[in-house]
Structure 1
Amino acid sequence: MASRGIMVTGTNGADFEHREKIAAQYQISALNKSRLKYCVFFHHMLFLVMLAKLSADILDKLDIFILEIEELQIPQPLWWEYLWGLSLVLSFLGLSAIKRNNIRYMRHYLYGITALGLGPLLYCVVYYCGDVYKYLTADEDEDEDEIQLWQGYPYGLLWYAFVLLASQVHFFQLYFGYNLLKAWRARGTYRKTD
């Protein structure tokens, strides 16, 4: 063993710690890459939910008739639902940015998530706020014919549940992406000073 020889006074073997440290920006980068990948996974899961909702309209446009889907009487989709579905394409841009540590791709990803992810969700909240307010403030005696229902559930509240989940995923994507940008920029300035 190496400790059997003559030990230099003043060293107790703990002097190696300064060589074992990983720079903070690399630790932050690795942690946020992993977390952003989880967010992208949840984004894909939410997209599958949206695709299930849009399936009736897509099949109608393709002139495919499936009785079980038609019997569900799914309401016609609005433009924001398709626009939000486009945000899935951005996840591949984000994964490419993670793989290459590409600042430009990550910036485009963050802008796209803001526009195609959060933008349509904000429109949904505004669009259904009247129905949700009527449902929440309606007395049991009042007639609820003005409120749009699907399978006995208020349609606006169902969308609000989706918006709650999707907005959390998007906000976390933005947060982790921003942290990656900061870490990658710190890495760039670190290299320039050496």
Structure 2
Amino acid sequence: MMAKLSADILDRMDIFILEIEELQIPTPLLWEYIWCLSLVMSMIGLPAIKKNNIRQLRHYIYGIGILGFGPLLYCILYYCPDVWRYLTRDDEDEDSSAEVEIELWQGYPYGLLWYAFVLLASQVHFFQLHFSYNLLKAWRMRGTLRKPE
């Protein structure tokens, strides 16, 4: 994602690199920047693991849920019409002028590329939530075992 956003970031900083400009990377949408904030959540999660901090780990879980899965869900909904058009198009009527244009990048349908990204990113976020939730449960159990009776 950072590689995709690098073209826009460099443009905003008035830095021109010919090799990046030749790729003709489409302009990023707001959800892509919001999704990158889920990487910042790792800065909350890793110290929480070191310190066994339940509160910070809970913030990490909520952050991944909102900043990780939220933009991915928006991406699915945003590109759904393009992907549906691409999957249901008739190859014989490819030359007809009535067909709506499908956005392509480097010859590949842009929506399907995003769906592949969503598949991989959602797996990573799912495992983040799964393991952090199990860790949270283990820490809570340890805390209940330590209480004097």
**In the alignment, which of 95, 100, 115 is matched to residue 46 of structure 2?**
95
Bigger relative contact order, structure 1 or 2 (CA pairs below 8 A, ≥6 apart): 1
User: What residue number does 1:110 align with?
Assistant: 61
User: What residue number does 2:114 align with?
Assistant: 159
Give CA-to-partner distance per residue, 1:136-166, whole Å, 9 cap, x none.
1111123465110000000000000000000
SS at match of 1:130: helix
* 1:169 counterpart = 2:130: no
Structure-2-length-normalised TM-score: 0.94
Give CA-to-partner distance per residue, 1:112-144, whole Å, 9 cap, x none.
000100000000000000000100111112346
User: What residue number does 1:137 align with?
Assistant: 88
* 1:76 counterpart = 2:27: yes
User: Counterpart amino acid of 2:113?
Assistant: L
**In the alignment, which of 86, 89, 95 is matched to residue 37 of structure 2?**
86
* 1:146 counterpart = 2:101: yes
Give CA-to-partner distance per residue, 1:20-67, whole Å, 9 cap, x none.
xxxxxxxxxxxxxxxxxxxxxxxxxxxxxx010011101110001111
SS at match of 1:86: helix
User: Counterpart amino acid of 2:101?
Assistant: E
Which structure 2 segments of 5+ residues have no match? none
Structure-1-length-normalised TM-score: 0.73
User: What residue number does 2:141 align with?
Assistant: 186
User: What residue number does 2:77 align with?
Assistant: 126
**In the alignment, which of 48, 52, 68 is matched to residue 3 of structure 2?**
52
Which structure 1 segments of 5+ residues have no match? 1-49
Matched residues in 2 for 1:193 and 1:168: separation?
A: 40
Q: What is the RMSD of the two structures over their aligned residues, measured on CA atoms?
A: 1.1
Matched residues in 2 for 1:142 and 1:189: separation?
A: 67
Matched residues in 2 for 1:61 and 1:94: separation?
A: 31
Question: Which structure 1 residue ranges, 4+ long, deviate > 4 Å from structure 2?
Answer: none
Aligned-residue offset at 1:104: 0.2
Work out which of the two has the higher radius of gyration on C-alpha atoms and give 1 or 2: 1
